[in-house]
Amino acid sequence: MDGTEKAQREEASCVTRTDFIGDLTRAASFLTVGLFPAGGLPALHPNSRSLGAFVSNIFKRTPPGGETPAPPSAGASRRAVAATAAVASVVLLAAGCGGDDEGKRSPQGGAAAPAAPAATAKLPQATTYTDIKGIPQDPAPFADSDGTVVHPTAAVSVSASPGGPPVATLPVTQLGGPTWVPVVETKAGWLRVLLPSRPNRATGWIPSGGGLQTARSSHVVKVDLSARRLTLLDAGRTAGTWSVAVGAAKTPTPTGRTFMLASLAPAKKTPSPLILPVGAHSATLDTFGGGPGTVAFHGWPTSSVFGRAVTHGCVRVPPDALKRLSRVPLGTPVLITD
């Protein structure tokens, strides 16, 4: 069997299992989440890559007076790294990894009081593994956003409408790293965010009060399926563009806006040293290789696939593109168009 065929068979199962306990250093280092300044919001240095550095440098929401509060203490950073180490393993399906055949106010106004823990405990978590019922779709799936992203410091309830009853919870972490989701709409006391769950383009409303950290990514990742091209923008300027492989006709890459969900370093580096899942899923495969059909950016050992529609939904990218994407903040918008 030649190298390409072997890589295709390895990728066809595409279940990436990362053992965080066995290698804490690696687990921290592959979380590339540096946030870049825009609109006065605080930011991480671009070269900061560890989860500890991320948490210790991220700032809480800027208060109405405009003052920037101090960052969390070093103790908070250490606790975040310890929490990462406590995650035994992550199993993620990257769906495109096949071979070439492939405070309390009224509902009308601001935020409602958080639901009681007993009530939210029975709700599904909004993760890549769940299918959230009764959740609204993105009203503008191809619109630009301002790059605002939020991180819940504790699990937050998700409602289908501002002030409505909770239908899910948004957890603090996703796939072993911190949860960061983009804000696509705001109303008094509420934020509409993109969710990583099925169905694709799922959104939910979360209270905008305490318990959220806010930052802004200056990046946007654009994938043009017809041109089979990926473009990385930074502050509106092109930072890189690459020919990529996209979903085949029977297993297309889903369109619309989504976001960078996580960064995973598989123990086996073939076919890709990094898997960068997004908050979208295959529209034709409910499961794949034992996982939930999550779409991801990842590398490929041969360049002959680039410029072709040959995957099960994922986007295969060249080594330089993968390296650049790994430095893009979590929660950064990803816009996929036909």
- Please give the Cα distance from 169 to 126 (Å, whole number): 6
Share of the chain above pLDDT 90, in %: 61
> Using CB atoms within 10 A of its CB, is residue 227 exposed (0-12), middle (13-18) or buried (19+)?
middle
pLDDT confidence of residue 115: 56
Please check whether residue 181 is in contact with residue 259, taking contact to mean a CB–CB distance below 8 angstroms.
Answer: yes
Residue 156 C-beta-side C-alpha neighbours within 13 Å = 28
CA angle at 237 for the pair 231 and 239, rounded to the nearest 5°: 50
Block residue for tokens 């509106």: 236
**Hey, what are 19's tokens?**
């053992």
Whether the pLDDT of residue 214 is over 90: the answer is: yes
Q: What angle do CA 223, 168, 337 make, to 5 degrees?
A: 10
CA-based nearest residue to 314, from 268, 262, 260, 277: 277
Q: 267-273: long-range contacts at Cβ-Cβ below 8 A with a sequence spacing of 24 or more?
A: 267/17, 267/18, 267/19, 268/10, 270/6, 270/7, 270/10, 270/301, 271/7, 271/8, 271/10, 271/11, 271/97, 271/298, 271/299, 271/300, 271/301, 272/11, 272/298, 272/299, 272/300, 272/322, 273/299, 273/322
pLDDT for residue 117: 60
Do strands 315-316 and 294-298 pair parallel, antiparallel, or not at all (unpaired)?
parallel
Catalytic residue chosen out of the listed positions 14, 97, 281, 314: 314
Q: Report which of 134, 168, 156, 173 is spatially closest to residue 208, judged by C-alpha positions.
A: 156
Flag whether pLDDT at 52 surpasses 60.
Answer: no
Where residue 287 falls among pLDDT bands split at 50, 70, 90?
confident
More confident call, 32 vs 208: 208
Quick: pLDDT tens for 222-268: 999 999 999 999 999 999 999 999 999 999 999 999 999 999 999 99
CB 116, CB 25: distance < 8 Å: no
Residue 97 binned pLDDT confidence (cut-offs 50, 70, 90) = low
Tell me what pLDDT residue 252 has.
98
Computed over every residue of the chain, the mean pLDDT equals 75
- Give yes or no for residue 68 having a pLDDT over 60: no
In this prediction, residue 121 carries a pLDDT of 80
Query: By the 8 A CB rule, do 266 and 18 touch?
Result: yes
Token digits for 247? 């979903």
Does 45 participate in catalysis according to the annotation?
no
Q: How confident is the model at residue 106 (pLDDT cuts 50, 70, 90)?
A: very low
Q: Which of 54-68, 266-280, 323-337 has the lowest mean pLDDT?
A: 54-68
Active-site residue, from 151, 219, 281, 298: 298
Q: pLDDT by residue (tens digit) across 1-23?
A: 444 444 444 444 343 333 322 33
Residues 242 and 306: their CA atoms lie apart, in Å, by 9
- pLDDT of 8 reads 47
Q: Are strands 333-337 and 219-224 parallel, antiparallel or unpaired?
A: parallel
Q: How much is the pLDDT for 56?
A: 26
Res 207: pLDDT? 97
Predicted confidence (pLDDT) at residue 25 exceeds the cutoff of 50: no
Average pLDDT in the 195-199 region? 98
pLDDT in tens, 175-193: 999 999 999 999 999 999 9
Task: Please report the pLDDT score of residue 95 as a whole number.
Answer: 43
> Buried b vs exposed e over 315-333: b needs ≥16 C-beta within 10 Å?
bbbbeebbebbbbbbbbbb
What is the spatial distance between Cα 206 and Cα 194, in angstroms, rounded to a whole number? 11
Mean pLDDT lowest for which of 64-78, 114-128, 131-145?
A: 64-78
The answer to whether 238 touches 184, Cβ cutoff 8 Å, is no
Mean pLDDT for the stretch of residues 98-107:
35
